[in-house]
C-alpha cells in the first residue's frame, strides 16, 4: 500500500497545482476570445507560446514541490522508523514515490495542453494536435529533470523549507548559468520551446528533438539513481 500512502502524501499538493494549472487555462480561454480572426493567426500562436512560458513556470514550481518529502523528511517528522521497518528496500520506497510524482507531473503537463487543444476547437481556432503534443512532450520530458533534481535535493536535506528553497535556488541558478556559458544546453530553453520556435509563424517546427529528450531523461535517471545511493548510505 505504498502507492496509497504516496497518494495521501502528495494528494493536496497535486490537486492544488492541478487547480492552479486548470485555472490558468481558464484565463487563457478568456484571452482567446479576442483572437478569433484568421489574420491574427500569428498573434494567436504567439499567445500560445506565452501561455506555455507561464505554464512552464507553474509546472516547474509544481513538480519541485511534488518532489519534496520522502524518507529524509519523514525522519524530521518522526515516522521514518515505521517506514524503514517495513520489509521493503529503500530503493523500492523511493521508486514508488518517484513513480507517483512522475505520473502526477505528466498529468500536470498533459491536462493543460489537452484543455488548450480542446478549447481551441470550441473557440473556432483549432490548433494542430502536433503543436500541442510538441509543447507537452518538451515540457514533460525535459521538465522531469527538474523533478529528479528536486527528489535528489529532498534526499539530502531534511528541512521542510530548506529543501524546496535549495531546489528552487538550483532551478534558478542553472537557468542563469547555463544561459551565460552553455546556452545551447539550457534546459529551460529546451522545455519552453525556445530552440524550436519559428519566429515567423510562432509555431514549434522541425522534427521532434528525440535526442534531446532522451538526453534529458538520461540525466533525470542519473539523478534518481544518485538519490537511491544517497538514501542507501544514509543512517536513520
Partner 1 sequence: MRNTPVILTHDLTKSYGTVMAVHGLNLSVEPNRITAFLGQNGAGKSTTIKMLLGMIRPTCGEGTVLGKRIANAEENREMRRKVAYVAENKPLYSYMTVEQTVRFASSFYSDWRADVATKLLSEYRLPNKRKVKSLSKGMRTKLALLLAFARRPELLILDEPSEGLDPVGIEHLLQTLVAQSADGVSIFFSSHQIAEVERVADHVCILDNGRLLVNASLDRLLQSYRRIDLAFRFPPPEQEFRIAGVERIRISGNALSILASMNAEAVVERAHDLNAVSVEVAPVGLRDIFLETVKEN
Binding footprint of partner 1 on the chain (CB under 8 A): 1, 4-5, 8-9, 77-90, 232, 235-236
Best CA proximity match to 73, nearest among 101, 52, 92, 94: 94
CA atoms of 127 and 204, how far apart (whole Å)? 12
Minimal distance in Å, beta carbon 93 to partner 1? 11
How far does CA 134 lie from the centroid of its chain?
15
Nearer to partner 1, 89 or 205 (CB): 89
Minimal distance in Å, beta carbon 83 to partner 1? 8
- In sequence order, what are the residues at sequence separation of 6 or more whose Cβ sits closer than 8 angstroms to the Cβ of residue 190? 138, 142, 209, 212, 216
Nearer to partner 1, 31 or 236 (CB): 236
Nearer to partner 1, 33 or 85 (CB): 85
Nearer to partner 1, 10 or 141 (CB): 10
Nearer to partner 1, 156 or 215 (CB): 156
Nearer to partner 1, 90 or 189 (CB): 90
Minimal distance in Å, beta carbon 30 to partner 1? 36
Q: What is the DSSP secondary structure assignment for residue 127, as one 8-state letter?
A: P
Minimal distance in Å, beta carbon 233 to partner 1? 8
CA atoms of 104 and 97, how far apart (whole Å)? 11
CB-neighbour burial class of residue 55 (10 A; exposed 0-12, middle 13-18, buried 19+)? buried
Please, are residues 150 and 224 in contact by the beta-carbon 8 Å criterion?
Answer: no
- In sequence order, what are the residues at sequence separation of 6 or more whose Cβ sits closer than 8 angstroms to the Cβ of residue 52? 135, 139, 192, 193
Minimal distance in Å, beta carbon 88 to partner 1? 7
Minimal distance in Å, beta carbon 78 to partner 1? 5
Amino acid at each position: 500500500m505504498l502507492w496509497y500512502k504516496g497518494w495521501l502524501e502528495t494528494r493536496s499538493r497535486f490537486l492544488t497545482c492541478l487547480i492552479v494549472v486548470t485555472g490558468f487555462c481558464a484565463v487563457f480561454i478568456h484571452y482567446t476570445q479576442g483572437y478569433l480572426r484568421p489574420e491574427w493567426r500569428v498573434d494567436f500562436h504567439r499567445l500560445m507560446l506565452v501561455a506555455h512560458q507561464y505554464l512552464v513556470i507553474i509546472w516547474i514550481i509544481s513538480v519541485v514541490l511534488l518532489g519534496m518529502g520522502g524518507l529524509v523528511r519523514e525522519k524530521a517528522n518522526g515516522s521514518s522508523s515505521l517506514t524503514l521497518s517495513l520489509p521493503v528496500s529503500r530503493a523500492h520506497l523511493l521508486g514508488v514515490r518517484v513513480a507517483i510524482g512522475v505520473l502526477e507531473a505528466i498529468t500536470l503537463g498533459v491536462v493543460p495542453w489537452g484543455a488548450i487543444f480542446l478549447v481551441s476547437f470550441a473557440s473556432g481556432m483549432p490548433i494542430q494536435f502536433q503543436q500541442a503534443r510538441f509543447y507537452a512532450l518538451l515540457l514533460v520530458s525535459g521538465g522531469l529533470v527538474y523533478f529528479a533534481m528536486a527528489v535528489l535535493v529532498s534526499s539530502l536535506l531534511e528541512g521542510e523549507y530548506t529543501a524546496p528553497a535549495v531546489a528552487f535556488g538550483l532551478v534558478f541558478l542553472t537557468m542563469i548559468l547555463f544561459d551565460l556559458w552553455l546556452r545551447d544546453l539550457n534546459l529551460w530553453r529546451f522545455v519552453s520551446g525556445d530552440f524550436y520556435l519559428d519566429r515567423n509563424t510562432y509555431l514549434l517546427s522541425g522534427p521532434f528533438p528525440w535526442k534531446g529528450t532522451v538526453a534529458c531523461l538520461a540525466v533525470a535517471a542519473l539523478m534518481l539513481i544518485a538519490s537511491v545511493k544517497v538514501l542507501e548510505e544514509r543512517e536513520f
